Amino acid sequence: MSANKIANTHARAVRTISILLLTILALSGLSFVIGATSFKLGLDLQGGMSVTMDVSLEGMIKSLSNNPKDAQLLSALRTATAQKASSEADYITLFSDANVS
pLDDT in tens, 49-81: 677 888 888 999 998 988 889 999 999 999 999
What is the per-residue pLDDT for 43?
A: 67
What is the per-residue pLDDT for 79?
A: 93
What is the per-residue pLDDT for 36?
A: 63
| Nearest of 53, 100, 49, 48 to residue 72 by alpha carbon | 100
For 20-29, 32-41, 65-74, 92-101, which range has the lowest pLDDT when averaged over its residues?
A: 32-41
- Give me the phi and psi of 49, to 5 degrees please: -135, 135
65, 72 Cβ separation under 8 angstroms: no
65, 74 Cβ separation under 8 angstroms: no
Question: Chain-wide mean pLDDT for the chain?
Answer: 83
